[in-house]
A and B are shown apart, each in its own frame.
Chain A
């Protein structure tokens, strides 16, 4: 199992956190830590630590497709 942390910037929209969780679960990644902070009126900064047997790019690319996700960075692996 590979553990990785993703740093995500997202638009502050009601559905974005739920979608992050849903996509992570569906794509086979379990979440070990999650931190979210509203950094402006319109933006969220999210730190998401996940583990899976799959390459992290399989998740980061899927998360980037979420309409309200702006950037996804792999910060620790």
Chain B
């Protein structure tokens, strides 16, 4: 029998008891009181009819509210805040379309395991189920995009539900939780109780037998590879992983979301694996005899053709989520639990010098060449140059597409919380609002977003948020006047039938930025790169640098769909 083992977890910090416990508070005031007790200082939202009582209470609150210009921007800003700060992000929207507009952001957070609490207004309980104005069954709609959903139908449940929402969002494999609050519940009144101890699922404990098996496999391996995923950052286990990697000196690869967990300078850290992975990383995995998966889930973009992925390897799988074990690739040993505990217990010396040297040599042999003929700007080279002048403490966000793959191939990342990209569901429109949230959470950090001319238009309205709050984000817009990744696939796999990818009628981005009082410039030549990057980096406020590149630029290498990872295409045929 599988049992959801529950324990009493002291998730909510005990705060001073309210002096006047007899005082009655409105539901709206209780929402803000609970947020404050949870240590929330900044939230992102957009008001509307069914959430007006909460916005009225907000008027008197110390919590800083950031008004984005679309609820999707609201959700992504909360995601960016959560990822850069390692706290739970909070977003709010009204009922109906306000709530539905959050859903893409919730789905993104769910797939990338990001802790969020989303608060939505709902029509009054007396009107629910009658198709009233701006009524949508958000519980049903959000169910597949959240870890859990609550609808509060009694004022006396509100405080407990909100406390549970924070506990669930941040526990185990983290994720978003939605709390839907009808307007009459926001207006009803009750007393506030001391913060409750919230029941959460216990973190699973790996068995001693599984640890013995894993140790035996590890000692027997002659060609092991450490395969690092986003779970390391989510578990706050970066230091434990780095200690493990240092002692074992295993050749290592990373998923997109795992980037930053390992020190990129290490000679046998081979970079990202998978569809647009680095050649050395993919070849090492295909050749290895043991794959140690740490907080990774054998995603299809990582494995390529699953039946031919790491074909000679035994697998040790470390994860907090038991449902990831044997989901895509069977594990020879599975250690389920907290990576901060498992990694130190697994640590040992390995006799793999020749394998390590082989992998380090591949890294050198297959390193990228940044020499590019002609005067045009070569996207990999400018992103490499940007990386070289970016401090380690900076935060980089990306959108989704070719620019995203170039960024992960050619830039280095010092910590997982310094690299924010929509990994699992690949959401265009992520980069700008996520950068806003990241900058709010870490106001002293340099925040750069690398975006494309397709992606930026998906949440372009958030330039107004930059202007309103003077958020000094640097926007690097890699512009090929195309939906570049779709164009690349049409070139390679659809006989160059270029269907609906031409964006050459995009607006003048420099003029558009100027309309939001954002300084901008456009460059088209290699000779302009260094000065333009320097100007952007030293500008004190928000800045948009539009970089025009060849519309036919492709991302290499590429593993074609349903193909083994060692059969990558390295140049246009």
Q: Which residues of A contact B (CB under 8 A)?
A: 14-15, 18-19, 22, 26, 55, 57-58, 60-62, 64-65, 67, 69-73
Distance of A58 Cα from B326 Cα, bound (Å): 8
Inter-chain contacts of A15 with B (CB < 8 A):
139, 143, 149, 151
Whether A69 contacts B4 by the Cβ 8 Å rule is yes
Inter-chain contacts of A18 with B (CB < 8 A):
140, 143
B168 at the interface (CB under 8 A from A): yes
Taking a contact as CB atoms closer than 8 A, the residue among B2, B143, B325, B326 that contacts A22 in the complex is: B143
Taking a contact as CB atoms closer than 8 A, the residue among A19, A22, A58, A73 that contacts B327 in the complex is: A58
Whether A65 contacts B143 by the Cβ 8 Å rule is no
Inter-chain contacts of A55 with B (CB < 8 A):
326
Distance of A69 Cα from B2 Cα, bound (Å): 10
Inter-chain contacts of B325 with A (CB < 8 A):
61
B389 at the interface (CB under 8 A from A): no
CB distance from B106 to the nearest CB of A (A): 15
Given the known interface contacts A61-B323, A62-B323, the answer about A70 and B3 at a Cβ–Cβ threshold of 8 Å is yes
| 22 pairs, CB–CB < 8 Å, chain A vs chain B | A14-B139, A15-B149, A18-B143, A22-B143, A22-B144, A26-B144, A55-B326, A57-B326, A60-B2, A61-B2, A61-B322, A61-B323, A64-B2, A64-B3, A65-B321, A65-B323, A69-B4, A71-B4, A72-B1, A72-B2, A73-B1, A73-B2
Contact mask for chain B residues 143-171; partner A; CB cutoff 8 A; 1 contact, 0 none: 11001110100000000000000001000
Instruction: Give the A-B pair count, Cβ closer than 8 A.
Output: 45
Inter-chain contacts of A64 with B (CB < 8 A):
2-4, 322-323
Distance of A70 Cα from B323 Cα, bound (Å): 16
Inter-chain contacts of A73 with B (CB < 8 A):
1-2
CB distance from B493 to the nearest CB of A (A): 26
Inter-chain contacts of B140 with A (CB < 8 A):
18
Inter-chain contacts of B326 with A (CB < 8 A):
55, 57-58
Whether B143 contacts A71 by the Cβ 8 Å rule is no
In the complex, residue of chain B having the shortest beta-carbon distance to the beta carbon of A14: B151
Inter-chain contacts of A65 with B (CB < 8 A):
173, 321, 323
Distance of A62 Cα from B3 Cα, bound (Å): 12
Inter-chain contacts of B147 with A (CB < 8 A):
67
Whether B322 contacts A70 by the Cβ 8 Å rule is no
Distance of A57 Cα from B147 Cα, bound (Å): 20
Restricting to B365-415, which residues have a CB under 8 Å from any CB of A? none
Q: Which of B2, B144, B151, B326 has the most CB of A within 10 A?
A: B2
Distance of A26 Cα from B323 Cα, bound (Å): 14
Inter-chain contacts of B2 with A (CB < 8 A):
60-61, 64, 71-73
Inter-chain contacts of A71 with B (CB < 8 A):
1-4
Inter-chain contacts of B321 with A (CB < 8 A):
65
Distance of A62 Cα from B168 Cα, bound (Å): 16
Distance of A62 Cα from B327 Cα, bound (Å): 10
Inter-chain contacts of A14 with B (CB < 8 A):
139, 151
Distance of A70 Cα from B4 Cα, bound (Å): 5
